[in-house]
Amino acid sequence: MTDSLVRLRRRLNAWYAATLGTIVILLGTGLFIAIRQQISAQLDDSLAVASKVIQRATTIRERERSTASGAVMDAVGELRIPDRDLYLFDASGSPVVPDRAPAPIVTAARNALRDSLAITTLQPPDDHVLRVYARRFRSDGGNTYVAVAVADQLELEDQYAELIVSFGAAALGALVLFAVGGSFLTRKSVEPVERTMSYMRRFMADAAHELRTPLAVVRSRAEVALASGDDEGGHREALAAIEREAIRLGKIVEDLLLLARSDSGGARFQMTRVFLDDVTSDAVSAASALATSHGITLTVESFEEAPVDGDAALIRQLLMILLDNAVKFTPPGGSVTVSVINASTGALVTIADTGPGIPADQIEHVFERFYRGDSSRSRGEGAGLGLSIAQWIAVTHHARITLRAADHRGTVAEVRFPPVTGH
Run of H or E including 120? strand 117-122
pLDDT digits (tens, 9 = 90+) for 238-293: 667 666 667 666 666 666 666 666 555 656 667 889 999 999 999 999 888 889 88
Q: Are 101 and 88 in contact (CB under 8 A)?
A: no
pLDDT digits (tens, 9 = 90+) for 297-307: 998 888 888 89
Give the dihedral of Cα atoms 282, 283, 285, 288; nearest 10 deg: 180
Residues 208, 217: Cα–Cα separation, whole Å: 14
In terms of pTM, does the model score above 0.85? no
Looking at the domain 272-416, which fold is it? Heat Shock Protein 90 (3.30.565)
Distance between start and end Cα atoms, the chain: 54
Kind of pairing, strands 297-303 and 335-343?
A: parallel
The shares of helix, strand and coil residues in the chain, as percent rounded to the nearest 5, are: 55, 20, 25
Q: Which class would CATH give 3-152? A: alpha beta
Cα–Cα separations (whole angstroms), residue 348 to 317, 335, 389, 402: 16, 20, 19, 11
Is domain 160-264 classified as CATH 3.40.50.1820?
no
Q: What are the sequence ranges of the domains in the chain?
A: 3-152, 160-264, 272-416
Nearest to 40 by CA among 156, 151, 149, 135: 156
Give the dihedral of Cα atoms 386, 358, 342, 317; nearest 10 deg: 10
Q: b or e along 164-187 (b: 16 or more beta carbons within 10 Å of the residue's beta carbon)?
A: eeebeeebeebeeebeeebeeebe
> φ and ψ at 147, to 5 degrees?
-100, 130
Residues in the chain: 423
pLDDT per residue of the chain (423 residues) written in tens, 0 to 9:
556 667 777 777 777 777 777 787 787 778 778 877 877 788 888 899 998 998 888 888 888 777 765 555 677 888 888 878 899 999 888 998 888 888 889 999 999 999 999 988 887 766 678 889 999 999 888 889 999 999 887 666 666 667 777 777 777 777 677 666 766 767 776 677 666 666 666 665 566 556 666 777 777 766 766 666 555 555 667 667 666 667 666 666 666 666 666 555 656 667 889 999 999 999 999 888 889 888 999 988 888 888 999 888 889 988 988 998 889 888 899 999 999 999 888 899 999 998 887 777 776 767 776 565 554 444 445 556 778 888 888 888 889 998 888 777 788 989 999 988 765
Residues 415, 340: Cα–Cα separation, whole Å: 10
**Residue 350 forms beta bridges with which residues?**
339, 414
User: Looking at residue 366, what DSSP letter applies?
Assistant: T
Cα–Cα separations (whole angstroms), residue 331 to 287, 295, 355: 16, 8, 6
